[in-house]
């Protein structure tokens, strides 16, 4: 079809008897931003891998600019396709200019760009984007938002016609998201087309011109973004109606606080924090990146040491010097970045589940593989982890199932307080709801749950109480059942408008 920047037709892919993609089609015109939506396991990742030449389709055709695209990464790069993954795939030890020009040098065969030519090209791209980047700055010292800008600049340096962005706003503040939207809109005007993969509904409707929804490897809905609303998009992704409302909560029986914090402070990160966490209660700490929310959570989990104030367990002061101290006190912590901090991706599901409680399988200095397998299978069944077998590597699971594996690890220790930092980051809407229901079930069983998040809807859905952190301080607290998104959002974004 004339005028198309990208066309994928009748794409099929199977792994053995499992059909991953079935007659999938997708097209882009110059300057179009298309949302590729779907639950984890819907086939999105496989489709992107086929597009980028990492995986070869069993059938179908990919064309860029009307020309057939060979199934090879070099061919995709040369044709002007760039994929920006969540980790950005940058070289931390290289400078901004070296990273920006790397693909260009590989694609052209000019592997040893002259430093002046490299800086000149990088400078042109940076000015085109209208952003503030130092070409000589090593990438490893850049904040996340700047690393993303480098990844976009790298794509433009290679004359990208199509840029695929996988969950691009996961680690960005609201102001950084706004800057990204501005850059995408500017690049649209120059004819660059985007495929935008995101689980954040509000961003889909703000950024995207069109939507393609995958479910079970098939296109189940597509069209202009204006024809979709939140409910229709969620129903298309999941095949069912998921109500966007508060989960039913039962009041926890009166009990003393499990954990209490008084005047807790850590220089440069948070100050004068007062907080009580009760058995059977879900409390959310809501704040933007840099608000001190993660540092506070790490302190309660033993990962950081406060400079002042007191932490008490059941009224008795405690001094954690390591995460192991908090674990012994009955506290479990799930980090936000499950891929690098929370899981051993190359290891089996079984080992990931039992690693924090190996004493249950140890006898006379030996570990019982039978016992480990039995416990892992029980956890997989209880947490409804979708996996072929417990020996499968965690890397083969979807984001939602990976998060369940991380939860299962700590459930094996029977914690009394579960701290979750960004419990549903990068998780599709269906799995998100299931994880929320799981956390509510744990609280009803008497566990104290602390959720650290920047997702206002998540906090309202889950919480009995909500504390807002702004610039290292708790500035407001709300009862979960009485606050609305507008009120909570206004309090949270005070950080960006001060």
CA distances (Å), origin 258, targets 50, 67, 281, 322, 430: 51, 64, 10, 19, 32
Residue 335, in any domain of the structure: no
Phi, psi of 214 (to 5 degrees): -105, 140
Please, what is the average pLDDT of the chain?
Answer: 87
Instruction: Name residue 215's beta-bridge partners.
Output: 218
Q: Kindly state whether residues 229 and 270 are assigned to the same domain.
A: no
Q: Are 461 and 475 within one domain? A: yes
For residue 246, name the pLDDT band (cuts at 50, 70, 90): low
Q: Are residues 396 and 458 in the same domain?
A: no
Domain CATH for 134: 3.40.50.300
Query: Are 399 and 431 contained in the same domain?
Result: no
In sequence order, what E strands does 131-207 have? 162-166, 193-197
Q: Which of 366, 389, 412 is the last residue of a domain?
A: 412
Enumerate the H helices of 349-471 as residue ranges. Answer: 349-354, 369-382, 399-411, 429-444, 456-462
Q: Are 225 and 113 contained in the same domain?
A: yes
- State which of 386, 412, 438 marks the end of a domain: 412
Q: Specify if 338 maps to a domain.
A: no
76 and 165 both lie in a single domain:
yes
Q: Are residues 256 and 221 in the same domain?
A: no
Which of the four pLDDT bands, split at 50, 70 and 90, describes residue 494?
A: low
Quick one: 309 and 391 in the same domain?
Answer: no
Q: Are residues 422 and 384 in the same domain?
A: no
- Do 46 and 118 lie in one domain? The reply is yes
Give per-residue pLDDT as tens, 184-208. Answer: 999 999 999 999 988 777 788 889 9
Per-residue pLDDT at 324? 92
> What is the torsional sign of CA 149, 150, 154, 156?
positive
In a domain? residue 337: no
pLDDT for res 6: 94
Q: Which two tokens stand for residue 338?
A: 């499950």
Domain that holds residue 303: 247-330+415-498
Q: What is the DSSP string of 78-117?
A: HTTEEEE-TTTT--TTSBHHHHHHHHHHHHHT--S--HHH
Domain boundary among 357, 385, 412: 412
Residue 37 belongs to some domain of the structure: yes
Sign of CA dihedral 327, 434, 386, 396: negative
What residues have CB less than 8 Å from 53, skipping those under 6 apart? 69, 70, 71, 72, 73, 74, 75, 76
* Any domain includes 110: yes
Q: What would the mean pLDDT of 403-408 be, rounded to a whole number?
A: 88
**Considering the domain boundaries, does residue 180 fall inside one?**
yes
In whole angstroms, what is the distance from residue 478 CA to residue 487 CA? Answer: 10
Answer yes or no: is pLDDT of 108 > 70.
no
Exposure string of 197-214, with b = 16+ CB inside 10 Å and e = fewer, is: bbbbbebbbebbbbbbbb
Is 262 part of any domain?
A: yes
Number of domains observed in the structure of the chain: 3
Q: Is residue 281 part of a domain?
A: yes
For 31-46, what is each residue's pLDDT tens digit? 999 999 988 778 898 9
Asked whether the predicted pLDDT for residue 250 surpasses 80, the reply is no
- Do 419 and 406 lie in a common domain? no
Its pTM stands at 0.70
| Lookup: tokens for 253 | 């029986």
229 and 255 in one domain?
Answer: no
């Amino acid at each position: 079809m004339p005028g198309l920047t990208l066309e994928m037709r009748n794409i099929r892919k199977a792994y053995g008897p499992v059909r991953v993609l079935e007659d999938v089609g997708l097209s882009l015109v110059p300057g179009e931003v298309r949302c590729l939506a779907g639950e984890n396991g819907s086939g999105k990742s496989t489709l992107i891998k086929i597009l980028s030449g990492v995986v070869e389709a069993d059938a179908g055709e990919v064309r860029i600019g009307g020309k057939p695209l060979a199934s090879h990464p070099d061919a995709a790069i040369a044709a002007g396709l760039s994929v920006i993954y969540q980790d950005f795939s940058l070289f931390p030890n290289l400078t901004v200019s070296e990273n920006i020009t790397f693909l260009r040098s590989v694609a052209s065969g000019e592997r040893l760009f002259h430093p002046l030519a490299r800086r000149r090209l990088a400078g042109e791209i940076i000015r085109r984007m209208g952003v503030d980047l130092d070409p000589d700055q090593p990438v490893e010292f850049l904040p996340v938002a700047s690393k993303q800008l480098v990844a976009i600049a790298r794509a433009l340096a290679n004359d990208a016609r199509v840029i695929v962005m996988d969950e691009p706003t996961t680690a960005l503040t609201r102001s950084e998201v706004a800057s990204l939207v501005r850059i995408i809109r500017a690049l649209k005007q120059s004819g660059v087309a985007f495929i935008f993969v995101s689980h954040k509904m509000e961003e889909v409707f703000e950024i995207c011109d069109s939507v393609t929804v995958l479910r079970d490897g098939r296109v189940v809905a597509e069209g202009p973004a204006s024809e979709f609303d939140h409910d229709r998009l969620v129903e298309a992704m999941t095949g069912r109606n998921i109500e966007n409302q508060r989960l039913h909560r039962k009041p926890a029986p009166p009990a003393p606080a499990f954990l209490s914090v008084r005047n807790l402070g850590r220089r440069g990160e948070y100050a004068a924090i007062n907080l009580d966490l009760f058995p059977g209660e879900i409390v959310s700490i809501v704040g933007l990146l840099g608000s001190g929310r993660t540092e506070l959570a790490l302190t309660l989990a033993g990962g950081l040491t406060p400079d002042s104030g007191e932490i008490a367990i059941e009224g008795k002061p405690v001094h954690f010097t390591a995460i192991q101290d908090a674990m012994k006190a009955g506290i479990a912590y799930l980090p936000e970045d499950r891929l690098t901090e929370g899981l051993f991706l190359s290891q089996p599901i079984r080992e990931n589940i039992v690693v924090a409680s190996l004493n249950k399988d140890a006898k006379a200095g030996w570990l019982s593989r039978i016992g480990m397998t039995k416990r892992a299978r029980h956890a997989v069944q209880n947490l409804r982890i979708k996996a072929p077998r417990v020996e499968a590597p965690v890397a083969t699971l979807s984001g939602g199932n990976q998060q369940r594996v991380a939860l299962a690890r700590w459930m094996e220790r029977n914690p009394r307080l579960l701290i979750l930092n960004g419990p549903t980051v990068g998780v599709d809407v269906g799995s998100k709801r299931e994880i929320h229901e799981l956390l509510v079930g744990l609280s009803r069983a008497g566990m104290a749950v602390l959720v650290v998040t920047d997702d206002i809807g998540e906090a309202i859905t889950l919480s009995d109480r909500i504390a807002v952190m702004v610039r290292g301080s708790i500035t407001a607290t709300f009862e979960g059942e009485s606050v609305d998104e507008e009120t909570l959002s206004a309090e949270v974004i005070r950080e960006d408008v001060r």
